[in-house]
Amino acid sequence: MKNHLLLLLCVFSLTAVAQDSLLEAPKIAIRMHVGETIQLKGNRITFLAVTEDSRCPKNVNCIWAGRAIVLLKITDVSGMTSEKSIIIGQTKPNESKTKVLLEKEDYTFEAIALTPYPVYEEEMAPYTLLISEKKVD
């Protein structure tokens, strides 16, 4: 009986410790189509084009996983305009791995994914870029 109580006490203490860890809130994504402009917190982001899509299609064995490069035009609140290329997937040496589109004092906009993912011998739907906002503490 004492062994059962000890085992029960250990199980309860482990579950109490496991519940102390913080869970990350799910990211809410904003969808953009090629040619679309969205306005976020006074900033304008335009999805200009996909300049490269060499991602390895599903159901194919590739030597390199590949990547997609998207071109965006970003106009911040102050009116400063710039074009930015974001690499989604593999990067080559000395290429930036950052997916940050715009970074301000209290928030950051970041590219999450480019859909659809290529499938071998299937026609692709129009591209959609997923963007998330991250609040800076």
Residue 8: per-residue pLDDT = 54
Beta strands in 18-105 (DSSP E): 29-33, 37-40, 43-53, 67-75, 81-89, 100-103
Quote the CA–CA distance of 12 and 10 in Å, as a whole number: 6
The domain ranges of the chain are 25-131
- Give the residue with greater pLDDT, 65 vs 48: 48
Closest CA to 101 of 134, 63, 127, 128: 134
Q: In this model, does residue 137 exceed pLDDT 80?
A: no
Model pTM? Answer: 0.76
- Give the residue with greater pLDDT, 20 vs 120: 120
Q: Is 126 helix (H, G, I), strand (E, B) or coil?
A: coil
